Amino acid sequence: MGGLGNQMFQYALGRRLSLLHNTELKIDISLLGNETSIDTKRKYELGIFGIDTIANNNDLKPYRVIQSSSFKRRLHYRLPQWCFSHHIIPEPSHAFNPGIFKSPDNSFFTGFWQTQKYFIDIAQTILDDFSFNPSLDDVNRKIAEKINSGNSVSIHIRRGDYVSNPTTQKYHGICSIEYYQSAVKQLLANQSDLQLFVFSDDTEWVKRNLHFDLPTEYIKGNTGNKSYIDMQLMSLCKHNIIANSSFSWWAAWLNKNKGKMVIAPIKWFEDSTVDTKDVIPESWIKL
């Protein structure tokens, strides 16, 4: 479900479980391509990392049988798991649930799983799995060279459906101008000679509304099939200021700079009923 960042979280959980239980991981992509009230139409994006272990109809059939009947579904959730040969495991909440590691064989997991606690034990494996193709076009190669040459900071400003879709906006919300200004001040208190690289799906809005008294470059052009390159470039920066977005969360997590400072919004969702205490790694700064 969801875009690239969400798909990466879901894969990372599955990868951890497959290694833990020494079994095969299959990815169900049947929900992609649909548009819902809180999510825009998405496509499968993990192919950019060469991940192609897609579940076929035969793999999914036992779970669809469970899902197809309301009586069977109610029975499945009320009886002990060992009564069944196949199991549907929904994410109970956004909080980390270590009980997931004890799930039985032939389990189908559905949810977002947005915390590194599900896969931190295999961090290097995940870093290896999510290795970007180092070959870039001329424009992005020059940007990467600038990023690598200085004390670079990525700033991700997510707007898009967070603004245009009323239901999405009510659930997710957007980071305020004050958040970004405070984040830059926080970095300036600890770093010098900062160079800002701004990534946004609404660059013109950012130019009109956000101003920093620092060298700033606005990254444009990586859209459609090239949108993942923004994540790749952000991950090359020395430090990261992320939005309440799994896309820039992963850019910061994939950043291999040992001295990195990552600043994240303390309010991950506008909906205050969602438990997000495990979303942001403890080493990151929350504002």
**Could you list the pLDDT tens digit for every one of the 287 residues in the chain?**
899 999 999 999 999 999 999 999 999 998 887 655 445 678 999 999 999 999 999 999 888 866 665 545 555 555 555 455 678 899 989 999 999 999 988 899 999 999 999 999 999 999 999 999 999 999 999 999 999 999 999 999 976 555 444 454 444 568 899 999 999 999 999 999 999 999 998 999 999 999 899 999 999 999 999 999 999 999 999 999 999 999 999 999 999 999 999 999 998 977 778 889 999 999 999 99
Please check whether residues 120 and 152 belong to one and the same domain: no
SS3 (DSSP) at 162: helix
Residues 232, 239: contact at Cβ < 8 Å? Answer: no
**Residue 100 β-bridge partners:** none
Q: Tell me how far apart the alpha carbons of residues 157 and 177 are, in angstroms, rounded to a whole number.
A: 10
What is the pLDDT, as a whole number, of residue 167?
Answer: 52
Please check whether residues 238 and 214 belong to one and the same domain: yes
**Residue 185 β-bridge partners:** none
109, 126, 143 — which closes off a domain? 126
SS3 (DSSP) at 217: strand
Please check whether residues 170 and 277 belong to one and the same domain: yes
Please check whether residues 73 and 107 belong to one and the same domain: yes
What is the pLDDT, as a whole number, of residue 171?
Answer: 45
Instruction: Record the tokens describing residue 116, joined without a space.
Output: 């590194």
CA nearest to 175, candidates 151, 209, 152, 208: 209
What is the pLDDT, as a whole number, of residue 152?
Answer: 98
Instruction: Record the tokens describing residue 105, joined without a space.
Output: 């064989």
CA nearest to 279, candidates 9, 34, 4, 38: 9
Please check whether residues 155 and 75 belong to one and the same domain: no
Please check whether residues 91 and 218 belong to one and the same domain: no
Please check whether residues 153 and 107 belong to one and the same domain: no
Judged on CB neighbours under 10 Å (0-12, 13-18, 19+), 271 is: exposed
> 144: which residues sit within 8 A by CB, 6+ positions away?
136, 233, 236
What is the pLDDT, as a whole number, of residue 169?
Answer: 47
Query: Tokens 């309440």 label which residue?
Result: 244
What range does the domain containing 111 cover?
4-126
Q: Tell me, what CATH number does 173's domain have?
A: 3.40.50.11350
What is the pLDDT, as a whole number, of residue 145?
Answer: 97
What is the pLDDT, as a whole number, of residue 138?
Answer: 97
- As for how many domains the chain has, the answer is 2
Q: Tell me how far apart the alpha carbons of residues 133 and 232 are, in angstroms, rounded to a whole number.
A: 9
